[in-house]
Amino acid sequence: MSVEAPRLRLDKWLWQARFFKTRSLAARVVAAGHVRVNAQKVHKPAGTIRPGDVLTFTQGRAVRVVKVVALGDRRGPAPEAQTLYEDLTPVKETGPKNPAYEGKGRPTGKDRRMLGSFRSGPLE
């Protein structure tokens, strides 16, 4: 006899891993078809997952990609929830968009003049 790998409901795991505040919210997102398990769209919150599966879903305006490392027993504190998954979400570079202004807070008059010259090009 072979022992089958443990499984857990998708909505319950998303809630235990603290990606969604309530289990019903996680179920709604899954039912709307916004979650993929191993690149396959899932429409049933009762769909099961196991360690090694890769989940892709939207959270707010960001797309999250996580690999299931473990199945939880309960919805514990955040440090415990972070041990349930490995985050594979690509990191976006957040650098200054304009070299004339480095994001030091509210721009001064001099900063605004430099921004204007950067946008319109050098004055000749």
Residue type at position 36: R
**Burial track 52-68 (b if 16+ CB lie within 10 A, e otherwise):** eebbbbeeeeeebebeb
**DSSP structural state of residue 91:** P
Check whether domain 8-87 has CATH 3.10.290.10, yes or no: yes
pLDDT single digits (tens) 29-77: 999 999 999 999 999 999 999 999 999 999 888 899 999 999 989 999 9
Residue type at position 75: R
* In the chain, domain spans: 8-87, 93-124
Q: Are 7 and 51 in contact (CB under 8 A)?
A: no
Is the whole model's pTM more than 0.75, yes or no?
no
